[in-house]
Structure 1
Amino acid sequence: MSMLEVRSLHGGYGGADVLNGVDLDVGDGEIVAVVGPNGAGKSTLMKAVFGLVNIRSGSIRFASEEIAALRANEIVRRGLAFVPQERNVFPTLSVEENLEMGAFLLDSGVSERLHRIYEMFPPLKERRRQSAAQLSGGQRQMVAIGRALMLEPRLLLLDEPTAGLSPQFTELIFSKIREINAQGVSVLIVEQNARKALAVSDRGYVLALGRNRFEGPGAALVNNREVAELFLGA
């Protein structure tokens, strides 16, 4: 049974649908990538799962519970965490204050979880008193991911986590995604760096015009000639 099941999802913004019948599954312990051209509905799908998009029809089930009608704060309590592409840190707060914001539901154990985040992202410990506005793009992404992990989610949603990052930070973020997954967290990633995302993923989905176009094992999609020609720039 899948941890996350999306079926025949239609939805979007206002009265216009961006998603036109999308299906998606994320199994327990999987990394799943969603790729496709700009305007395909990738980020909209991610926001829909997290309760940030109007859903006209379809189903979103997490751990067998229907969550399509829930608000984002209710979804967080069930074990999902979302790192958006933009505005994913509080720039006027320090690194440590940003991380503590991710533990807003906790009554205790915050220091222990901070310690684990600093072990995963050592540069953040060195800069814990600095404001997030003073960080590089890659360091801010570490903060955003670290904050999402403070509640120890079962499923982590990452929307374009390497957008605008240097090759060095891109490699680092992908290595951390594998590390997070190895600790038992399932990951759903939307990514323009399609080859890299599919290469680290158990399975992948290619969306076009808000619909499923291809799906399968990540490595198989990378090696699919039609996928490569149409969506991977080959």
Structure 2
Amino acid sequence: MIRRMSTEVPTEYFDGVTEVVVSPRAVPHPTRAEIYTLGECIPLPLEQEAPEAVQSRVVLYHGSFLALAHLDPSFDWEREGWETLTHELRHHVEWRARGDDLEALDRAAEANYARQDGDPFDPLFFLDGDAPVADVYQVEDDWFLDLVVRQVPSAVRFNWHGKRYVAEVPPQTSLPAYLLVDGVDEPPPGDLILVLRVKPRLFDLFRARPLHQGAVQAVSDTRDEVP
């Protein structure tokens, strides 16, 4: 279906698109229940500074389409497929006009690779990622929930895909901290990380604090509100 639709789109929209692929994944929205990401335009690392050098991969998530079809018997695969494909291609055209934003995303992706490999990295790199809602950032397949705190809390409450969770913070945690979250019902394709940090102060520019990295187990929160 997607291959056929691609032939119906003007060819200039595909300038710089390396491929259009269908992934089996389901990608849940980070905060809203029953909402899934149907597709993404993923910018590739820049090899040249010229905007016309920007390249992207367009990915449509079959698992997300399937999840929505299960929720809504009237789900129109043809219409949603076409709208998703053309929407992501428009994103690609916009990326080609915004080289600075792409460079920031490239820096964030490189820092995230360093994090995954256990190498040193800038703890605030995720702020250059995509932010679909306030204080929630995406860098490739990984999601970062940004929490500015005065001190290390005993527990953290947060929303993920429309559900409330609470996670106890290990007593040895120091700030800033990256806490890998396990236990949410519909995890993202990559990591889900709680970032605990204090509000930046002037002397922090001259004396960086060591980053604590750990893990937490999330469970359903029965309280009425999530701060």
The reply to whether TM is greater than 0.5 is no
Larger Rg: 2
| Greater RCO structure (CA 8 Å; 6+ sep) | 1
TM-score (norm 2): 0.29
TM-score (norm 1): 0.28
